[in-house]
Amino acid sequence: MDRDEKSITSADDSRNSRQGIQSIEVGVPLLRVLAEHGAPMMLRDMARLTGMPAAKAHRYLVSFMRVNLVTQDVHSGRYDLGSFALDLGLASLARLDAVRVATPILEALNDEIGETVALSVWGNMGPTFVRWIESRRPVSVNLRTGDVMPLLHSASGLCFAVFLDTPAMKQRIADELALAAASKDKRPPQHQRAFDTLAAEARRHGLTRTLGAVIPNVNAFSAPVFKHDQQMVLAITALGPAGLFPSEWHSPIANAVRQAAGKASAILGWKGAT
């Protein structure tokens, strides 16, 4: 092969490389729409929101389904993020500096109190567990890494609701309160005044608490982890059976959870006081 042929081949390879990357970039908005929508979607809606012809969007979705980035409900025909998308999201969250800093602290907390402990971050869908360490004794808790917790009646969800002070969170709380007021589920607070009372108590103690609100007879404490800019980045949660897991705000377990969160916050450069 002479120099001219090599140049042509190199140019073709370059174009093919760009073509491949461009194809990925064209398809990614479909994944982004699914992630932002927060619920399964019809093909026509995804096509409309991405400005893509439905036939073209369908071809991309078929390819995404083959690698488990997308799944389709056989009954409704709606598309949703697949198992590999969840794996990618969790892997990305787990690589956050705050998670790396807090993981050994979480392990030490588990050794100290002997209860199930977890780390959660604020994900697209809400408070999401990214680390989960089981208790040394068998406990029937049907929760695991990747689970998204309710905002207003789980310890980790309330922790973000109370301590993550952003306009978006305030709007999310208002939306959740409206849903709670209209539902038959009486576990979350039903109006702003009830939430404000709960939040004030949590701020006084530096952590949130639930008593059998998510799983019957299982108590939980959750404390916020802050970074240098005063923003909450993680929640450290401990939970256990009500008969063996003290519910007092200053019980040894509550104090240990508070101290673990404070230690992680200090490493991340937080200078405030819990």
Q: Is residue 86 part of a domain?
A: no
Q: Is residue 228 part of a domain?
A: yes
Q: Is residue 274 part of a domain?
A: no
Q: Kindly report the CA angle at 148 between 146 and 152, in degrees rounded to 5?
A: 155
Q: What is the pTM of this model?
A: 0.66
Cβ atoms 206, 274 nearer than 8 A: yes
Q: Kindly report the CA angle at 127 between 115 and 111, in degrees rounded to 5?
A: 20
**Residues 39-77 pLDDT 10s:** 899 999 999 999 999 999 999 999 999 999 999 999 999
Between β-strands 70-72 and 208-211, what pairing exists: parallel, antiparallel or unpaired? Answer: unpaired
**For position 92, what pLDDT does the model report?**
66
> Percentage of the chain surpassing pLDDT 90?
54
The structure tokens listed for 169 are 């969170």
Confidence bin at 140 (pLDDT 50/70/90): low
**For position 273, what pLDDT does the model report?**
56
Same domain, 220 and 199: yes
The structure tokens listed for 109 are 């907390």
Same domain, 63 and 97: no
User: Does position 18 have pLDDT exceeding 80, yes or no?
Assistant: no
Confidence bin at 242 (pLDDT 50/70/90): confident
**In terms of residue numbers, what domain contains 101?**
91-267
Q: For position 187, which CATH number holds?
A: 3.30.450.40
Of 6-15, 41-50, 224-233, 261-270, the poorest mean pLDDT is in: 6-15
**Residues 174-232 pLDDT 10s:** 999 999 888 888 888 889 999 999 999 999 999 999 998 777 888 999 999 998 778 99
CA distance 121 to 252: 25
User: Does position 27 have pLDDT exceeding 80, yes or no?
Assistant: yes
Same domain, 253 and 165: yes
Q: Is residue 272 part of a domain?
A: no
CA distance 32 to 186: 34
Phi, psi of 200, rounded to the nearest 5 degrees: -60, -40
Cα dihedral 260/262/266/272 (nearest 10)? 170
CA distance 63 to 151: 34
Q: How many domains in the chain?
A: 2
Q: Is residue 199 part of a domain?
A: yes
Confidence bin at 93 (pLDDT 50/70/90): low
